[in-house]
Amino acid sequence: MTEGGAMETLSQATTRLALGGYVEDYRAHDGRLVCGQCSTSHNPAELTIDAIVRFEGDSNPDDEAIVYALDAGCGHRGLYISAYGSGATADDIAVVAALPDLKH
C-alpha cells in the first residue's frame, strides 16, 4: 500500500523494490529463471523469495500479476513478474510451482 492507504500499482511496487536493491529482471524459460544481468539459468526451487506483491484484476482477470523479489546464487537480486490465473503461460506456471516458500 502507498502512504495514503491506496493500493500501489505495479510500477510503484517495482520502483519500491528496485530502490531496495532488486534491480535485475528474471524471466521464465523452460521451467527455469534466467537472470537478465548474467544470463545464468536458475532452478526456481533454489532461489530465495524475499517479498511477494500480488495484483488482482478488479475489472479484468488479465490484469492479475504477481511480483517476486528474488535473491539468486549468481549474486544478483531482482524481480520476476508473472501473470497468474488465465493469463499465465506454461513457463510461468512451471516456475511458480517450483519456487520455495517466502522466507522471513
Q: Is residue 31 part of a domain?
A: yes
Q: Is residue 103 part of a domain?
A: no
| Overall domain count for the chain | 1
Q: Is residue 92 part of a domain?
A: yes
User: Strand 77-83 vs strand 48-55: parallel, antiparallel, or unpaired?
Assistant: unpaired
Q: Which three cell numbers stand for residue 42?
A: 536458475
User: Which residues span the domain enclosing 29?
Assistant: 10-98
How much is the pLDDT for 75? 84
pLDDT (tens digit per residue) in 67-79: 999 998 788 899 9
Q: Is residue 2 part of a domain?
A: no
Q: Is residue 50 part of a domain?
A: yes
pLDDT (tens digit per residue) in 78-90: 999 998 777 788 9
The answer, as to whether pTM is greater than 0.75, is yes
Q: Is residue 1 part of a domain?
A: no
CA–CA gap between residue 25 and residue 4 (Å, rounded):
29
CA–CA gap between residue 2 and residue 86 (Å, rounded):
28
